[in-house]
Chains A and B, each alone.
Chain A
């Protein structure tokens, strides 16, 4: 029940295309769903996050879509750029716990 399953494991997208990464969770007590971006040699950096009271959140080219009934959420990267090439992690947590459960990560390569 503590798992967060992420897919795909790797993704190759052409420059200008849309990158889509999906995550699914089981624990209905989770109420905070962030996405992190990690470049080689760096720590994960918070990209965008959503709480289950909204179905979508957009920040620039990054959008989280959230489906509470299906217990799924996804990250959409519009107009993908080579600089977006990185590993992306979804995560989930319960309020007042602080502990994030991470998905296994998706390595995104955006080809010029």
Chain B
């Protein structure tokens, strides 16, 4: 157990729907990162939050949004889902921005 908790582990939904993925960081970690992993694109950075504030944005679609709450857990919201959104979504956390971070086990999203 890495200490980063992601729920749910698996999610199957239909095109056009909206889903929310949840992440609880390791105790003491203030930064949360979201990554998308697909076979053809590898691990792609989506967005980073630090202590509740958005710090960096990557190739995140406008249909996707995220937030980090006062208790430091984070949620990634994916809307108007398309078949191409099917992927593994990982959350990671770190104490600050200068060290490697710890990944959760991911949420496997399947859009049908």
Binding site for B on A (CB under 8 A): 32, 34, 36, 41-46, 49, 89, 95-105
Q: Once bound together, how far apart are the Cα atoms of A105 and B33, in whole Å?
A: 19
Distance in angstroms between the alpha carbons of A99 and B31 in the assembled complex: 11
Among residues 39 to 86 in chain B, which have CB atoms less than 8 Å away from a CB atom of chain A?
42-45, 48, 50, 55-56, 58
* Residue of A whose beta carbon sits closest to that of B45: A99
Are the C-beta atoms of A46 and B100 separated by less than 8 Å?
A: yes
Q: Which residues of B contact A104 (CB under 8 A)?
A: 42
Contact indicator A44/B103 (Cβ below 8 Å): yes
* B104: interface (CB < 8 Å): yes
Return chain B residues, CB-CB under 8 Å to A102.
42-44
CB atoms of A43 and B97 under 8 A apart: no
For B55, the chain A residues whose CB sits under 8 A away are 98
Q: With A41-B105, A45-B103, A89-B43 given, is the CB distance from A98 to B33 under 8 Å? A: yes
Q: Which residue of B lies closest to A94 (CB)?
A: B97
Q: What separation, in Å, do the CA atoms of A36 and B100 have in the docked complex? A: 10
* Chain A residues, CB < 8 A from B106: 42-43
Q: Which of B79-112 contact A (CB under 8 A)?
A: 90, 92, 94, 96-98, 100-106
Report chain A residues within 8 Å CB of B2: 43, 45
How distant is B7 from chain A, measured CB to nearest CB, in Å?
14
User: Is the Cβ of B42 less than 8 Å from the Cβ of A97?
Assistant: no
Nearest CB in chain B: distance from A71 CB, A: 20
Q: Are B42 and A43 in touch, CB under 8 angstroms? A: no
Bound CA span A21–B109, Å = 30
Point out the residue from B31, B44, B58, B100 that lies within 8 Å of A34, measured CB to CB.
B100
Please tell me if the beta carbons of A98 and B31 are within 8 angstroms of each other in the complex. Answer: yes
Extra contacts besides A32-B98, A99-B58 (8): CB < 8 Å: A43-B92, A97-B56, A97-B97, A98-B96, A99-B33, A99-B56, A100-B45, A104-B42
